[in-house]
């Protein structure tokens, strides 16, 4: 077994992996960005290495810096977690070329499954149904029309390199074809540097069912009972459960077998997930895509099977036997996971980063909290808003549901808005209680208005002014904390600089400069240099904390200069364009 494993991630998943390492007597090594110098994962690791600045592109995505940390620590293996570099085949390859073990599938498999048309081909070759669609990318509106004539409308246009709903468009009528095709291709280029898109028949009210697989070092593939991930919004999952309230045992057996067949077809090793759409008849399912990583929602599977998936990943990577086989993978009881995000559910789930005041996490029978935050900690805007995952287990679905409601009621998060009120509402909703929900339920059928009147508790006076300053020193991966206590009541405090006005206007180059209201990544430009624009016209799309934000013009005039291009990372206040 490995002696040292480097965890190339942050937040709750870094802690989850760190704990699996401890359980295996492996020394966990952390990396951290400047913003995470005092973070829990940084503190709990045996060694922690600063890999750069706050923006992910300067730290958690910086391959050379991460490999350098692994080398300095003498780590033998790298666990990527989810997000960041987890599905980056170049990173996996670089890890292996540096003589380290990659805790995940082979880089070639990551690359192959990253191409959705190739994944669909693998499924077909394995005899598993995919949604009727085009085997190869399409480029012209004529091809889309021809597909519509043959398979009917609605149809879906999807990015070949897609994922997370990026480059995904639904065509409901023939006159939408042109715009949907160019929109999907443009988004695909911006996010995946490839404009390739393909077509599928669009299913109206499917459930999103996924199957965890685990390829062992001997070439067998184990599959696990499904997770139902249909409760999501804008392709961000909110609640997951296992088993699905919609599957009967025969369909379960069939979908688990289908996932194992697709995985075997590609020689899959380590943990992965096959995604399916389950049609509204409750028994027809289609392979959608494969995720070549550990997923956020893996704990629900752990609770109903009793198997530690992260430990299993490490065993497989180390070439050691798992100690269990398909016959040992049962299904006992029911598990539900609620994602606790720093988001305001009454404001369209707007990211709500900031400083946490008091924090009390629930516990008790059937409750597991996988958390990455602590009282008086900060949720930086630079990262994903996931604070923690609340997972409950029960002998049956209603016991798990009631425990969830109890645990949500115990949860106290002061200072930032969270998804907790949404979850309390959803878990008590007749649609959840009956299990009769689908991928459109949250967006199309829920009235979230009542949540607006449930204000988040404010931090107590004094909370935000903790008289405890901490400095972190790092020396060869060993970290030292310096605490300075300060009597704030008697201290002379510098005045806070006035923040720039919210959306766009002012700062920097005078009133003609359009500036970034938040740190993020430019997804696309909607205007060109020389264009005449009106007040409030969208100028570009900026992605921050998994949200796309249209940045609107603060003035009417001519776009004299565009200071950024698609793909650029920008800081708060950066000048985006000059309009006069």
Which residues would be at the binding site for ligand MV4 (CB under 6 A)? 131, 156, 165, 168, 200-203, 206, 208, 232, 235, 277, 288, 439
Q: Judged by CB, which is closer to ligand MV4: 339, or 479?
A: 339
Tell me how far, at minimum, the Cβ of 129 lies from ligand MV4, in Å.
Answer: 12
Q: Judged by CB, which is closer to ligand MV4: 203, or 522?
A: 203
| DSSP bridge pairs for 334 | 394
Q: Judged by CB, which is closer to ligand MV4: 31, or 171?
A: 171
Q: Around Cβ 473, how many Cβ atoms within 10 Å?
A: 10
Angle at 94 between CA 166 and CA 90, to 5 degrees: 20
Tell me how far, at minimum, the Cβ of 231 lies from ligand MV4, in Å.
Answer: 9
Q: How many residues are listed for the chain in this entry?
A: 580
How many Å apart are CA 365 and CA 348, to the nearest integer? 33
Tell me how far, at minimum, the Cβ of 559 lies from ligand MV4, in Å.
Answer: 33
Q: Judged by CB, which is closer to ligand MV4: 100, or 138?
A: 138
How many Å apart are CA 153 and CA 362, to the nearest integer? 47
Q: Which residue has the tokens 């205007």?
A: 527
Q: Judged by CB, which is closer to ligand MV4: 203, or 338?
A: 203
Cis ω for the linkage preceding 437 (within 30 of 0): no
Q: Judged by CB, which is closer to ligand MV4: 23, or 204?
A: 204
Tell me how far, at minimum, the Cβ of 286 lies from ligand MV4, in Å.
Answer: 7
Q: Judged by CB, which is closer to ligand MV4: 290, or 340?
A: 290
Tell me how far, at minimum, the Cβ of 164 lies from ligand MV4, in Å.
Answer: 7
Tell me how far, at minimum, the Cβ of 245 lies from ligand MV4, in Å.
Answer: 16
SS3 194: coil
How many Å apart are CA 312 and CA 215, to the nearest integer? 10
Cis ω for the linkage preceding 46 (within 30 of 0): no
Q: Judged by CB, which is closer to ligand MV4: 16, or 438?
A: 438
Tell me how far, at minimum, the Cβ of 480 lies from ligand MV4, in Å.
Answer: 45
| DSSP bridge pairs for 475 | 478
Q: Judged by CB, which is closer to ligand MV4: 84, or 286?
A: 286
Largest CA distance in the chain: 77
Q: Is the dihedral of CA 296, 297, 300, 302 positive or negative?
A: negative
Q: Judged by CB, which is closer to ligand MV4: 209, or 317?
A: 209
200-214 b/e with 16+ CB inside 10 Å = b? bbbbeebbbbbbbbb
> Is there a contact between 336 and 392 (Cβ–Cβ < 8 Å)?
yes
Tell me how far, at minimum, the Cβ of 273 lies from ligand MV4, in Å.
Answer: 12
CA-based nearest residue to 318, from 77, 81, 96? 77
> Is there a contact between 253 and 299 (Cβ–Cβ < 8 Å)?
no
Residue 455 phi/psi, 5° resolution?
A: -70, 145
How many Å apart are CA 576 and CA 477, to the nearest integer? 38
> Is there a contact between 54 and 31 (Cβ–Cβ < 8 Å)?
no
- How distant is the alpha carbon of residue 171 from its chain centre? 26
How many Å apart are CA 426 and CA 452, to the nearest integer? 15
């Amino acid at each position: 077994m490995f002696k040292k494993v480097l965890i190339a991630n942050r937040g709750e998943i870094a802690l989850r992996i760190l704990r699996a390492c401890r359980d295996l007597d492996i020394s966990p090594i952390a990396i951290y960005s400047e913003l995470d110098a005092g973070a829990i994962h940084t503190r709990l690791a045996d060694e922690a290495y600063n890999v750069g600045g706050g923006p992910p592109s300067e730290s958690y995505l910086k391959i050379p810096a991460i490999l350098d940390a692994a080398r300095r620590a003498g780590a033998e293996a790298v666990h990527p977690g989810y997000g960041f570099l987890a599905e980056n085949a170049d990173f996996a390859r670089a890890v292996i070329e540096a003589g380290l073990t990659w805790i995940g599938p082979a880089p070639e498999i990551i690359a192959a499954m990253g191409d959705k048309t190739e994944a669909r081909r693998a499924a077909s070759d394995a005899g598993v149904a995919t949604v009727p669609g085009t085997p190869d990318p399409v480029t012209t509106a004529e091809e889309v029309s021809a597909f519509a004539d043959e398979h009917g409308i609605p149809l879906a246009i999807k990015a070949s390199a897609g994922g997370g709903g990026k480059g995904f468009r639904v065509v409901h009528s023939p006159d939408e074809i042109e715009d949907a095709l160019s929109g999907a291709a443009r988004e695909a280029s911006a996010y995946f540097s490839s404009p390739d898109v393909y077509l599928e028949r669009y299913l109206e009210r499917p459930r999103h069912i996924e199957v965890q697989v685990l390829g062992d070092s001997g070439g067998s593939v184990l599959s696990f009972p499904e997770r139902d991930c249909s409760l999501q919004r804008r392709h961000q999952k909110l609640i997951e459960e296992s088993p699905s309230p919609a599957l009967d045992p025969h369909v379960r057996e069939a979908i688990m077998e289908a996932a194992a067949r697709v995985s075997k077809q590609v020689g899959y090793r380590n943990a992965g997930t096959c995604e399916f759409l389950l049609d509204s008849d409750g028994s027809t399912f289609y392979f959608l895509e494969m995720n070549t990583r550990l997923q956020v929602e893996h704990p629900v599977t752990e609770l109903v099977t009793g198997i530690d998936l992260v430990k299993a990943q490490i065993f497989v990577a180390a070439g050691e036997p798992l100690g269990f086989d398909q016959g040992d993978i049962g299904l006992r009881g029911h598990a539900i996971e609620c994602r606790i995000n720093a988001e305001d559910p009454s404001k369209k789930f707007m990211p709500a980063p900031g400083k946490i005041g008091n924090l009390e996490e629930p516990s008790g029978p059937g409750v597991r909290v996988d958390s990455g935050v602590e009282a008086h900690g900060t949720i930086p805007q630079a990262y994903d808003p996931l604070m923690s995952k609340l997972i409950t287990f029960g002998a049956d679905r209603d016991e798990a549901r009631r425990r969830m409601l109890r645990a949500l009621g115990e949860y106290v998060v002061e200072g930032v808005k969270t998804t907790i009120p949404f979850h309390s509402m959803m878990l008590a909703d007749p649609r959840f209680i009956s299990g009769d929900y689908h991928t459109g339920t949250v967006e199309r059928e829920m009235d979230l208005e009542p949540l607006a009147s449930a204000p988040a508790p404010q931090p107590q006076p004094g909370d935000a002014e903790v008289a405890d300053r901490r400095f972190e020193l790092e020396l060869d991966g060993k970290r030292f904390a310096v605490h300075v206590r300060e009597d704030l009541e008697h201290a002379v405090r510098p005045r806070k600089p006035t923040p720039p006005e919210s959306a766009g206007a002012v700062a920097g180059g005078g009133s003609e400069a359009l500036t970034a209201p938040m740190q993020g990544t430019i997804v696309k430009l909607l205007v060109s240099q020389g264009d005449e624009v009106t007040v409030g016209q969208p100028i570009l799309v900026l992605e921050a904390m998994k949200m796309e934000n249209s940045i609107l013009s603060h003035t009417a005039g001519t776009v004299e200069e565009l200071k950024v291009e698609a793909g650029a990372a920008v800081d708060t206040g950066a000048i985006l364009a000059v309009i006069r």
